[in-house]
Structure 1
Amino acid sequence: MTTAQIPTLDIRRFTQPASAEDRVAFVAELGAAYREWGFAGIRGHGIAQQLIDDSYDVFKGFFALPEETKRKYHVAGGGGARGYTPFGVETAKDSKYFDLKEFWHVGREIPRDSRYASDMPANLWPDEVHGFREHAYGLYNALDLLGASVLSALALHIGLPENWFADKTDSGNSILRPIHYPPITSDDIPNERAGAHEDINLITLLVGASSEGLEVKSRKGEWVPFTADADTIVVNIGDMLQRLTNHVYPSTTHRVVNPPGEKARQPRYSTPFFLHPNPDFLIDVLPSTITPDNPKRYPEPITAQGYLEERLREIKLK
């Protein structure tokens, strides 16, 4: 199997289309990619490479700090919602072994008198790394905008108005997660850099899939490597969108495997953006996705926040 089977599409065909027909074709191709894979590469996204490079520089700067300095930004009992989560904490659902990673969480900046303030804590920012806040939140906003375009195309694909998601994600509890996978010093450990899992949210936008290691599980049960070009952001379906669309868009299992030999001695960095709905959004199966061949799979709706908390407990973050 080759990575070519997971499509990469140019989103300018949707945001700056040469013709109405090409826009319609893009929506159809994107929808087909997600129905089959739950994954697609997105290029032509308009996020400046300089912003990405500057962001990675400050993220690497933070992870290079002494352990005791990093742990100043760990919020005990916070479920990893903001700030630093140390190495060896997050564990893929049903896995015996923790993931080989440490990470930081940046959330949406909202007024502290917002009705969502109790579910969306204030961000923490490391004083030790110049420009961290500026670059991290700049990347957050850029990925939030790109995610909105992807959701608009998917809305059209399943017969909803193009702006259907707009007022349901404008205060979304979305997370930017810079990740550091440290060098692996032993060849016989059972842990993986990220164990097989599905994402919790609506969609995930991954900056940094140009480093090898990401693998996607096909419908046939085979693991397919997906190493994207440097100018490509990988976007995949999460469990919330799978549930909302009655599994029309599958939330596909994926993992980050340990590289062989000397490559394992190198660190790996990646930065996913987990796009979430507003905390009080009710995830209820869309009527248009219920058919005789695909009956309603979830009789009871659940709020986005309720679902998130349920899943965070499963992966040992709460």
Structure 2
Amino acid sequence: MALTSLPVLSLADDKASFSQAIGESFRTFGFALVKDFDIDRGLIDQAWQLSEQFFALPEAEKRSYHDPAIGGARGYTPFGVEIAKDAKHHDLKEFWHIGRDLPEGSPLADASMPPNVWPARPDGFQDVFSELYRQFDATGATILSRIAVYLGLDEHWFDRGIEDGNSVMRLLHYPPLENVEGEAIRAGAHGDINLITLLLGAEEAGLELLGKDGSWINASPPEGAMVINVGDMLERLTNNYLPSTIHRVRNPDATRAAFSRYSMPFFLHLRSDFPIRTLPQCVSAECPDRYPVAITADDFLQQRLREIGLKK
């Protein structure tokens, strides 16, 4: 019988129990639902309000923060630019990216990790999202430490790999749809590029993951929980032991088409110069190394950004 419901895990559980539970959920679904994380609820509420206010600004004002030369790494990306790999239609969304502020003189500062762009309004945007980024980053590091234990690694194994990592927080807006019958959808079926993604729940439903039996499974988190999913970098690192599962945001039914959908994923990335090399414990005679040639995290990222239309 196919599993069709993701368990809700508590980060407040002891380390060993949570490590085993999230590892099993990742092995089964490539996804997990997690509650009791240490991100301030009041800050999250402020972030939703500010995100909605920003996307309500005039189109010309929003586009003044768009720089095609950096492939959406920071600032605004307009509606209809991004496309899922191998898809025929662009996604029905617009978004804003916030990244890591690197120390002055960092060798990682380049086109992949440019300085952040901040809008003149709404008021408080920079302060709220800078702090939310910091809290997301810390929570992501905690999750990775539990995954490391599940993989038989030291709990600090990922620490150096994500130090000054190219992690990005995305503020997403899916505008109301005039035609829910068209072929384009809010976010086409895709896998994430990064190590893991942390996603706060959206008011409007629509997030679905592709089950092993080919059916789509609802992945919308309950109140107070977030979605965590495996990205392509972690899949490659573990020789596909932890799968990066295809997921999408389907269009709403006619009764909800007039409503915007907002979401806020945090894409936790390795540092740009980290070599993604298959973990030895994930290689065996039954499961030979699928990726015998290492690739740096930035080379992997740039390859994927070209595939999804954010870079030429």
Alignment TM-score, normalising by the size of structure 1: 0.95
Q: After the TM superposition, which of the residue ranges 235-244 and 126-135 deviates more from structure 2?
A: 126-135
State how far apart, in whole Å, the 1-side matches of 2:213 and 2:246 are: 12
Partner amino acid for 1:7?
P
The one of 34, 37, 56 equivalent to 2:29 is 37
State how far apart, in whole Å, the 2-side matches of 1:26 and 1:187 are: 40
State the 1:111 CA deviation. 2.3
Alignment TM-score, normalising by the size of structure 2: 0.97
Pairing 1:145–2:153 present: no
Q: Following superposition of structure 1 onto structure 2, how do residues 1-318 of structure 1 map, counting pairs within 5 Å?
A: 5-13=5-13, 17=14, 23-118=15-110, 119-209=112-202, 211-318=204-311
Contact 1:35 1:250 (8 Å CA) reproduced: yes
Contact 2:46 2:128 (8 Å CA) reproduced: yes
State how far apart, in whole Å, the 1-side matches of 2:201 and 2:3 are: 16
Structure 1 residues 3 and 159: alpha-carbon distance in aligned structure 2, compared to 1, 3 A threshold: closer
State the 1:25 CA deviation. 2.3
Q: Deviations over 1:173-230 (max 9, x none)?
A: 0000000000001133210000000000000000124531000101111100122112
Aligned residues: 310
Q: Give the ranges of 4+ consecutive aligned residues of structure 1 lying more than 6 Å apart after TM superposition.
A: 1-4
- For structure 2, the 5+ residue unaligned runs are none
Structure 1 residues 59 and 36: alpha-carbon distance in aligned structure 2, compared to 1, 3 A threshold: same
Q: After the TM superposition, which of the residue ranges 221-230 and 263-272 deviates more from structure 2?
A: 221-230
State the 1:46 CA deviation. 2.0
Q: Deviations over 1:37-61 (max 9, x none)?
A: 1100110002121111101111111
The alignment yields a C-alpha RMSD, in angstroms, of: 1.4
Identical aligned pairs, as a percentage? 47
1:20 is aligned to: none
Contact 1:104 1:177 (8 Å CA) reproduced: yes
Contact 2:180 2:252 (8 Å CA) reproduced: no
Contact 1:210 1:227 (8 Å CA) reproduced: no
